[in-house]
Structure 1
Amino acid sequence: MPDHSSFDPRFSQPGHPPATTTEFEGVRSLHLGTSWEQGAMRLSCPDAIELEYVQMMMAWLLFQAASPRHIVQLGLGSAALTKFCYRRFPDARVTAVELNPNVIAICRALFALPPNDARLDVREANALDFVLDRRNHGTVDVLQVDLYDEQARGPVLDSVEFYQGCRDCLRPDGIMTANVFGEVGNYDKNLAAMTDVFDAIAWLPEVHDANIVVIAFKNAPQIDFSLLYERAAGIRRRLNLPAKKWVEGLKEWMRDQQA
């Protein structure tokens, strides 16, 4: 069974859910004072992405030929995406927006999140404020959205206003990936809001306790599966991510839409 961490005042600032951890078979998991897993890190590979659905949040790689200049993560989680993008895309700026200071503190102390520097900006802020701020509009190549509270019933931001702000932050060829998890009604609500705002959306088959990753495009791409498989092979070689499964998931999604 996992070993539960003891209460640590460093990660229990009042006014926000406390950040706690469990460890099992070499994997440290993040919790917000409940049993729901908010992220994970394999202790022997702290910069790798451990959870399958979090790996799928990188599916934007299939559609961006150029290296991104600015990657933004809304919701820090265990910092897996933030660390991975910071390490593996050295020419990109990486911004992470997290409302809970306890999450930022525990990621710095126990999840190998490096300090801010010229390329990395982990900031304590509200994701809605970030996407509505006109100074951020048109500045982001990749937006990765994974926003959950301690109850994990559904994304804490799911309105048309929020997703419109996400779209506004993207450059013309920008892509958003978003994790949609929780009670059944949340799927339809979020997908409807994204459909209202984005030029095109697609989603991958659910994994890891019903997480579904949606890919949303500011401007719809032309889908060439032979090119996607070619890119998937390159992603596997360079980044050790199972991108072929993402292409197969997209094919399955297209078949379902046409049925």
Structure 2
Amino acid sequence: MTDATDLKILIADDEPLAAERLQMMLAKIGGVHLVGTAHDGESAVRMAEALSPDLVLLDIAMPGLDGIEVARALSRQETSPAVVFVTAFDQFAVAAFDVAAIDYLMKPVDADRLGRAIERARAYVEGRGQEQAIAERPAAGSPWLEEFWASDLSGLVRIAARDIDRVTAERDYMRLHVGKRSWLIHHSMTALEEGLDPELFVRLHRSAIVRRDFIAGFSRNASGRWIARLGDGEEQPVGRLYADQVRAIAGR
């Protein structure tokens, strides 16, 4: 019998021995429930849609859709599962995190390392529930979002909205930048724009929201497009649809 709070896991790996080894390691980890095993990319997508796993342990080199393509397909689901890549190839790490993978494990997988990845995925799934609850219930007395919860290696991290320097979009995820650190959360840019206090934040691009007092100045590039200079030295192009925001900030 499984507990309702168990982390539901789907394995997607075309190597039977590799999949069996993962199954054996999962059997020794508490609080998890294996819902199925897929042996190619298309099956992984279909099974994820049917079984709604919390986490997919996903190989990269598979027949049909490869693991990166599977992760992209999963990200389009209404509630997409967390993804941990399990592969023999290290050259796909950058591509893996471009599709917001929670972790990247190299074969042969170490049991302790798998355990840490599972806990990281659990923190992510629990944190996503926290984020959704926060989005639905702003702080008492305030119509605006005042905090977020994001997953970290240590568990869940509370991030005060007023501490966020900027927000950038990464497909179906948003990255909250605070100083030199950043965290991914599962939100839409539109929901964040509507939820963040417009006295504190301004949208400058379809994929970027910036805290107003983090903007150090504006300049124009050779084509006449506005560029925001930020407090950390980075530059943020201003989308043409948001040029009026520059004039409003500058009082013009």
* TM-score between the two structures when normalised by the length of structure 2: 0.36
Question: Which structure shows the higher strand fraction?
Answer: 2
* TM-score between the two structures when normalised by the length of structure 1: 0.35
Query: Rg larger in 1 or in 2?
Result: 2
- Which structure would you say has the larger RCO, counting Cα contacts within 8 Å and 6 or more residues apart? 1
